[in-house]
Chain A
Amino acid sequence: MEEKFISQVKLQELCNELIDNNFDIFIPKEYGYQKLVKGENVTLDNSLKPTKSSFKDIIFPKAEPIIYYKKNKSDIEIIDPQINKKTNIILGAKPCDAKSVAIMSKVFNWDYKDEFFNIRAENTLIFGILCNFNDEFCFCTSVGLSPKSTEGSDLFLVPLNDGYGVRIISPKGEDFYQKYNSYFTTVDNKLIEEIESNVKEPDIVFDSEKVRNWIKENFEDSYWNTLGEYCLGCGQCAFVCPVCHCFDIVDEDYCYTEGRRMKNWDACQFEIFTLHASGHNPRDDQSKRYRQRISHKFKYYPEKFNEILCTGCGRCSRGCPVSIDIKKIVTEIGSFSEV
């Protein structure tokens, strides 16, 4: 059996042509997925730490206008925003990032359809990459993924000597391959499989079913208070998370007569997130807010959308200013029901 192969040199050429063809290419750097400049070296090192933030903001921007308005005395004119229809290519997304779009797509489409999200998702092509990184915060295998999982990728790269084995995953990936097949050659599938089988996977540390059951039975448990005492409520965990999707809607006036309505990222760890006008707050304590975070990811979302709202990337723990480790927490929760 043979698989597709692209050499490092050809990948570089392909990227240059794609940029010429008006594609935006994003590759992982230390802080996030950054736009590739023409001629820049394309280096995809799959043994590096996940970027500090995911590529979520390419599909679900931190702040995006949902309407523009013009005010003329008591009259109002509403103008729809135009979404940039340029195709984005995410080159070298780890499996824990590649899956994120498919997970968020459920909430953005379960009833009303959020076309802002859909158009961007449709115009994004994801090249996943075999992950060869594993630290104490990684737990993708516990949420149903793995370093070689191709879920969510359109094409999947496996680093070989001087290039990458390429698996075509989705019809979108196939279309892309057909268009640019002159850049690709073939390679023996055995070489790819050998690399894949040598990847060290993180150990499975919890059973998501058990976690779900414990949360269900222990809504008022004192364990939540312990977590609430640590958490500062800064919200960084939600902002670096590849699948956290809560947002706020805010108006911004440019001047007296014009402005725009924005959809901005928000986070359930903020005190005013659920504050009522009357002053009543259903989640008036950090422990309740932390309980919401864990429960939403491991109980509510799976119950509603059949998908765990976590990809096990560990970003929230790596970045937490008070070292709250979600892997440790969920592992503990999973072990409670065994005792």
Chain B
Amino acid sequence: MENIYKPYLMEVKEIIPETPDTTTFRLKFKDESVAKMFTFKAGQFAEYSVFGEGECTFCIASSPTRTEFIECSFKKYGKVTSALARLNVGDTIGFRGPYGNWFPVDEMKGMNVVFIAGGIGLAPVRCVIDNVLDLREQFKDITIIYGARSVADLVYKNKLKEWQDRNDVKTIVTVDPGGETPDWHGESGFVPTIVEKYAPSNNNAVAIVCGPPIMIKYTVPVLSKLGFKDDDIITTLENRMKCGLGKCGRCNIGNVYVCKDGPVFTYSQLKTLPQEF
């Protein structure tokens, strides 16, 4: 019998603390043969589990172009994420996936790409950024605008530095007003304001937006004002999920299952759905 609920086993190889409550795991399949056949695309998600605590849904944060490991980032919030945060290097977790659709990285080739992320929303976007940077010559201008509540809440600080040091990527990092430290050299302001200030061109461009609902709500009108078409604004939704397989019935928006037809949607697709997300 094929058991669709049976997870693969993965070993925690490295634990990278990102912020006081956010952690990144570097994971490797315990079974070599699974590691060899496993592939995924940028934007897909998985069900991670701590045995005895339960399953939890996050995106795969590492790029599909880097196959030797998988990374996921999570914020300590509930039962499972708290249990994950207690794990040590060498511990085993369960992994089911990859599930869902992906960002149209192939269609984006030859275009200017604008990445806009807020808070932990950088995790799914980072996967695409790394994917795009690994194929750098196939894309035109790349702009990254990332913001968090405070300097301490910025995730992937090493990555941010790496991107800022590259001269073929324009990286802007901002924190919400009041979240600066005395030695902060980045921007200060909410993400939509900073997007408006830097006004990325809509010419042959696609914008990938991910962050808290409130950030998306105020960023999309700014992009529209800059001339981005609804089809060229892409985001990823994070609804509560259990099965990830289109069965358990909780992630749906209208007749769309976020776990199967999403999590990646264009803004024009979102407009056709019932406003219940």
Contacts of B260 in A (CB 8 A): 111
* B140 on the A face (CB < 8 A): no
Structural contact, B1 and A115, CB atoms closer than 8 A? yes
Interface string of B260-276 (1 = CB under 8 A from A): 10000000000000111
Structural contact, B9 and A76, CB atoms closer than 8 A? yes
Structural contact, B252 and A259, CB atoms closer than 8 A? no
Structural contact, A245 and B249, CB atoms closer than 8 A? yes
- What DSSP secondary structure best describes chain A's contact surface? mixed
Contacts of B143 in A (CB 8 A): none
Q: How far is the CA of A115 from the CA of B9 in the complex (A)?
A: 21
Interface string of A99-132 (1 = CB under 8 A from B): 0000000011011111110010000000000000
Structural contact, A108 and B90, CB atoms closer than 8 A? no
Interface string of A240-271 (1 = CB under 8 A from B): 00000111111101000001010100101000
- Interface 9-residue window, one of B48-56, B101-109, B223-231: B48-56
Q: How far is the CA of A76 from the CA of B92 in the complex (A)?
A: 7
* B78 on the A face (CB < 8 A): yes
* A327 on the B face (CB < 8 A): no
- What DSSP secondary structure best describes chain B's contact surface? loop
Structural contact, B249 and A251, CB atoms closer than 8 A? no
* B7 on the A face (CB < 8 A): yes
- Tell me the chain B residues, 103-150 only, with Cβ under 8 Å from chain A: none
Contacts of A180 in B (CB 8 A): none
Structural contact, A112 and B275, CB atoms closer than 8 A? no
Q: How far is the CA of A110 from the CA of B251 in the complex (A)?
A: 16
Which of B51, B212, B254 has most chain A Cβ within 10 Å?
B51
- Interface 9-residue window, one of B156-164, B184-192, B236-244: B236-244
Structural contact, B49 and A251, CB atoms closer than 8 A? yes
Shortest CB-to-CB span from B259 to chain A, Å, is: 10
* B277 on the A face (CB < 8 A): yes
Partner pick for A249 among B212, B242, B253, CB 8 A cutoff = B242
* B250 on the A face (CB < 8 A): yes
* A167 on the B face (CB < 8 A): no
Contacts of A275 in B (CB 8 A): 240
* B245 on the A face (CB < 8 A): yes
**A contact residues, range:** 35 or more
Contacts of A71 in B (CB 8 A): 51-52
Shortest CB-to-CB span from B12 to chain A, Å, is: 9
* B98 on the A face (CB < 8 A): no
With A115-B2, A300-B254 in contact, do A247 and B81 touch (Cβ < 8 Å)?
no
**Chain A residue nearest to B90 in the complex (CB):** A74
A/B interface sample: 24 pairs, CB < 8 A: A67-B5, A71-B52, A74-B90, A76-B51, A80-B6, A112-B4, A112-B246, A112-B247, A114-B245, A115-B1, A115-B3, A246-B249, A251-B52, A251-B55, A253-B52, A261-B49, A261-B51, A266-B242, A273-B240, A276-B239, A277-B77, A277-B240, A296-B249, A304-B255
Q: B residues engaging A (CB < 8 A)?
A: 1-7, 9, 49, 51-55, 75, 77-78, 81, 88, 90-92, 94, 212-213, 238-240, 242-243, 245-255, 260, 274-277
Please give me the 8 A-B residue pairs with the lowest Cβ-Cβ distance, nearest first: A246-B249, A300-B255, A66-B5, A277-B77, A253-B52, A112-B245, A76-B92, A74-B91
Q: A residues engaging B (CB < 8 A)?
A: 66-67, 69, 71, 74-76, 78, 80, 83, 107-108, 110-116, 119, 219-220, 245-251, 253, 259, 261, 263, 266, 268, 273-278, 280, 282-283, 288, 292, 295-296, 299-301, 303-304
